[in-house]
Amino acid sequence: MTQSISTHPKPDIAVDLTILTVRDGALCCVLMRRDDAVKVGGQWALPGGFVRLGDSLEDTVSRVMEAKIGIAPVRFEQLASYGALNRDPRGQVISIVYLALCPSGPLLKELARKPELTLATLHVDWPGEQGGKAHAYDGGNALGLAFDHADILGDVVKRLRGKLDYSPIGYGFLPPEFTLRDVQEVHEAILGHPLTKPAFRRKLLDRGMIEATGKKETGGAFRPAELYQVKE
């Protein structure tokens, strides 16, 4: 039987999702419009939900993903927990934030059907891994973020930048087969600055995480690039 140990009043515990993709060379995140903007400090927020007794954290991630976005769970990883007392004006909520990495194709298709969701472009003021808040834009318009979600999205960008070099995290934004240019676009979107092609190619191949498929991309007007895939 699933039960809790303590019977004292306790804070609520929630999972918030940063569903990320790279669209047109820009890092983007799914945000949800809220009706209670005045109460929670902004009109847009990360999709999330309470952790119920009997559900693990990963169960909750899957449930929120299916219920609010309507797509099957993708690769996700835990970012951090946020527990400041005043972060939610309605009461004490501890949020455990997850990153979910998606190729933009299937995600855009699903978002077109959900008017309450938008895919916001993320921008940060700071270089490298210094850290700070992030800002969300839709077209040219800044979106007001609820709770501490601007801080959370800043931490997301910081984490992505930090792990990009030595982990396969960048491939989460790509379909199973991709060109090296695709990977470079993802890295440039996350890092926020351009990279030189030959150095990037070599670094990527030296890491040994990807391998050539032998196939080539189709549909381009010029020389087609080779398709690669993540090993194993």
Partner DNA sequence: GCAATAGTGTCTGTCAGACAATATAGG
Partner DNA sequence: CCTATATTGTCTGACAGACACTATTGC
Q: Can you give the binding site for DNA, defined by CB under 7 A?
A: 179-181, 195-203, 206, 216, 220-226
Q: How far is the CB of 178 from DNA (least distance, A)?
A: 11
Long-range contacts (CB closer than 8 Å, 24 or more residues apart) made by 174-178: 174/103, 175/103, 175/105, 176/229, 176/230, 177/213, 177/215, 177/227, 177/228, 177/229, 178/227, 178/228, 178/229
Choose the one of its own copies, DNA, none that binds residue 93, judging by a C-beta under 5 to 8 angstroms depending on kind.
its own copies
Ramachandran region of residue 124, left (φ > 0), alpha (ψ -120 to 50) or beta? Answer: beta
Residue 79 corresponds to which tokens in the numbers above? 């970012």
Nearer to its own copies, 30 or 96 (CB): 96
**Closer Cβ to DNA, 62 or 179, answer by number:** 179
Element (H, E) at 50: strand 48-50
Neighbours of 40 (CB within 10 A): 18
What's the closest the beta carbon of residue 175 comes to its own copies, in angstroms? 28
Q: How far is the CB of 121 from its own copies (least distance, A)?
A: 28
In the bound state with DNA, the residue whose beta carbon lies nearer, of 74 and 225, is: 225
Q: Which does 6 bind (CB under 5 to 8 A by kind): DNA, its own copies, none?
A: its own copies
Question: Which of its own copies, DNA, none does residue 9 bind to, with CB < 5 to 8 Å depending on kind?
Answer: its own copies
Using CB distances below 5 to 8 A depending on partner kind, what does residue 39 bind out of DNA, its own copies, none?
A: none
Residue 9, SS3? coil
The two tokens of residue 48 are 């999330």
Nearer of residues 49 and 192 to its own copies, judged by Cβ: 49
Residue 124 CB, nearest approach to DNA (Å): 19
Place of tokens 């527990």: 83
- Joined tokens for residue 126: 């700071």
23 binds, among its own copies, DNA, none (CB under 5 to 8 A by kind): none
